[in-house]
Structure 1
Amino acid sequence: MLFTLKKYISALLMPLPLLILISFIGLLLLWFTHWQKSGKCLVSFSWLTILLLSLQPVADKLLLSSEGVFNKRYELLHPKKENIQYIVVLGGGFTYNPDWPPSANLINNSLARVTEGIRLYSQYPRAKLIFTGGRGNNLISNAEVAAKVALSLGVAETAIITLSTPRDTQEEAFEVEKIVGQQPFLLVTSANHMARAERFFIARNMHPITAPANQLAITSPLQPWEKFFPSIYFFSHSERAWYEFIGSIWQSIKIDNTQPLMLSSNVVE
């Protein structure tokens, strides 16, 4: 119940639903009350905020606050070659339609995470690839969908471990610990999610080596019209930055994120 409530509240606090709600309140004030000035202020605030969050310089500046030093690939962050036995790829957005090619079922950030995990596996072919992520409302789990993609790209089935129980990053850390223990491992997740994810694993006294994927904040040159015209693509960058900000606040106020949740083991090798 608490998990579901957390998801509903976090969804409501995302920029677009929140700004739509604020503008709706403003419209109610304009149409049905005498508080015209307040209504105009709320509608104007919503419009201006949506505009600013849709501009590349604003959106990517916000996103860099969460991507930070992770806006580089693994080899640049860790030039020293490590003895790696496990590559852990955290779950993200997915669906499952058996009529689609496997990779089409990984949406949002997931496909970039999985492909980066497979790329790293090619450098460490003796390592095990651990995919995480629960089932949600689908027939199979996020981890199993990721495994299907890896198999379709030539990764051996014996090199894959799926953890289908975890519903969020905290639970992923608990389940991964049961396999990896205290030995170093590559942690693959989105660059903007890496700082928060790393804290969950370090809280378990684990030793993740950051291998960020899905870098989004653009610091290389762009065409002028790409920088100064509003775009839903760059609005999604602002939304991602806000999501990580809210997630970090929640992580910091939790009673004790080192305590494991009561989860049943569901490891398929």
Structure 2
Amino acid sequence: MFELKKIIGAMLMPLPLSGLLCFVCLLMALRTNKGSVLIGLISISCLLLISTPFIGQKIIASNSQLKYTFNTEKQLTIDKIVVLGCDVNPNPKLNANSQLGNCAKSRLVEGIRLAYLYPHAQLIVSGGGYGNVTNSSLMQQTAISLGIDAKRIKQNPAAMDTADEARLLAPSLVDFKVALVTSASHMTRAKDLFNAQGVDVIPAATDFYDFSAWPAHKQYIPNIEALKAVTSYWHEVVGSAWITVRRWVDPEAL
């Protein structure tokens, strides 16, 4: 009964419920316009499939990202900790940490953890934003509120993407031991961009997705978390493809 309740509850969530309704409606319309309906059925089916934790886990290959976890036993010293920007939700009525999205919070928490482990390392928070509110300023305020000395923190508010972050920060990172903090799915591309600028970084990945331990009754029901994980993975595929094209057109690019 418990699992049945969970299954029914999960099926009534917006993603699986709306997807199922669309699927049923398309089946009903199949007699009148087969071509368009067939395309719709394939699209809805693919969306629902990649939204299931079982399929999502196969796509994101989370185990391959474990190589990017930071091993403190192998790193006796770190000079600089770079936390790359992510999502922000500016709202002057909220404090700084409440304006950071979950992705940004996850990265900042890892950066602050490393800052406490390496008390002499500089903490660099990066990322632009909207108007006068930047990812880096919100991260700095949050880090200070959590006990990090303001003198240890450097902002990089002008960067609007990872390529900008690597290009703008490179001059101050070359020849230092740098821990790079970003989401696990993003680490391969971020590391590549920093390496291209002559900066050898030590990955400190966070924001992992892993659905392998989810119970069986959740594995095959579309879930927004699985869709987010696949979306993040696809974002990196598109981003890496763009870098490849840019470098093919101009070997000096990025």
Do Structure 1 and Structure 2 share a fold, with TM-score over 0.5?
A: yes
Identity %: 28
Counterpart among 120, 128, 134 of residue 114 in structure 2: 120
Say yes or no: does 1:167 pair with 2:160. Answer: yes
| Higher Rg | 2
Q: 1:121-164, CA deviations, whole angstroms, 9 ceiling, x for partnerless residues?
A: 110010000011113x2322111111111011010000100011
Could you say which residue in structure 1 is the equivalent of 2:148? Answer: 155
TM-score w.r.t. length of structure 2:
0.82
- 1:37-116 pair list within 5 angstroms: 37-64=34-61, 68-70=64-66, 73-75=69-71, 79-116=73-110
| One-letter amino acid matched to 2:138 | V
CA distance in 1, matches of 2:83, 2:252: 20
Could you say which residue in structure 1 is the equivalent of 2:204? Answer: 211
Instruction: Please give the root-mean-square deviation of Cα atoms over the aligned residues, in Å.
Output: 2.4
Instruction: Please say if residues 170 and 198 of structure 2, whose CA atoms lie closer than 8 Å, have aligned partners that are also in contact.
Output: no
Which secondary structure does the structure 2 equivalent of 1:187 belong to?
Answer: strand
| 1:70 Cα offset (Å) | 3.5
Say yes or no: does 1:253 pair with 2:245. Answer: yes
Could you say which residue in structure 1 is the equivalent of 2:191? Answer: 198
Instruction: Please say if residues 93 and 109 of structure 1, whose CA atoms lie closer than 8 Å, have aligned partners that are also in contact.
Output: yes
Could you say which residue in structure 2 is the equivalent of 1:263? Answer: none
CA distance in 1, matches of 2:133, 2:214: 40
Instruction: Please say if residues 183 and 207 of structure 2, whose CA atoms lie closer than 8 Å, have aligned partners that are also in contact.
Output: yes
CA distance in 1, matches of 2:57, 2:85: 23
Change (3 A) 1:223 1:57: same
| 1:205 Cα offset (Å) | 1.6
CA distance in 1, matches of 2:225, 2:185: 16
| 1:72 Cα offset (Å) | 5.9
| One-letter amino acid matched to 2:113 | R
| One-letter amino acid matched to 1:69 | Q
| 1:259 Cα offset (Å) | 4.5
Counterpart among 211, 228, 242 of residue 220 in structure 2: 228
Q: 1:24-59, CA deviations, whole angstroms, 9 ceiling, x for partnerless residues?
A: xxx8xx79xx98221121111111011101100111
Change (3 A) 1:79 1:35: farther
Which secondary structure does the structure 1 equivalent of 2:206 belong to?
Answer: coil
Aligned residue pairs: how many? 228
Q: Which consecutive unaligned segments of at least 5 residues does structure 1 have?
A: 1-15, 261-269
| 1:101 Cα offset (Å) | 2.6
TM-score w.r.t. length of structure 1:
0.78
Could you say which residue in structure 1 is the equivalent of 2:229? Answer: 237
Change (3 A) 1:204 1:38: same
Say yes or no: does 1:186 pair with 2:179. Answer: yes
Q: Which consecutive unaligned segments of at least 5 residues does structure 2 have?
A: 1-14
| One-letter amino acid matched to 1:250 | W
Instruction: Please say if residues 71 and 215 of structure 1, whose CA atoms lie closer than 8 Å, have aligned partners that are also in contact.
Output: no
| 1:102 Cα offset (Å) | 1.9
CA distance in 2, matches of 1:60, 1:88: 28
Which secondary structure does the structure 1 equivalent of 2:61 belong to?
Answer: helix
